[in-house]
Amino acid sequence: MFLGACLFALFFIMLAPPTRTFILSHVTGAGEWLMAWAPVSFILVGILIAAPIVSLILVHTWPVHEEPENPMAKYRRDPLDEAE
């Protein structure tokens, strides 16, 4: 549903010629920058793409937190013992 709304809004944004030329000029400029700074820019783009993937793997493989045992639990009286 969210994707449909975004595509609908993007369609109307791209209808306006000034907006279309602005976006296309910036995309073209970004492509030229990528080619001008080829080794550095490709490493930067690789880091930007790999960071979310690595964070997802890290979150899924993180050990589960276990609550420590209460050391005073063995000294607690049971309410059922008092009823007898």
Q: What is the pLDDT along the chain (84 residues), one digit of tens a residue?
A: 788 998 888 888 778 888 888 888 999 999 999 999 999 999 999 999 999 999 999 999 999 888 888 888 777 776 665 555
CB 11 within 8 A of CB 3: no
pLDDT score of 81:
58
Residue 51 maps to a domain: yes
pLDDT score of 17:
86
Residue 52 maps to a domain: yes
How far is the C-alpha of 66 from the C-alpha of 61, rounded, in Å? 15
Residue 83 maps to a domain: no
Overall number of domains in the chain? 1
pLDDT score of 36:
94
pLDDT score of 13:
78
pLDDT score of 80:
64
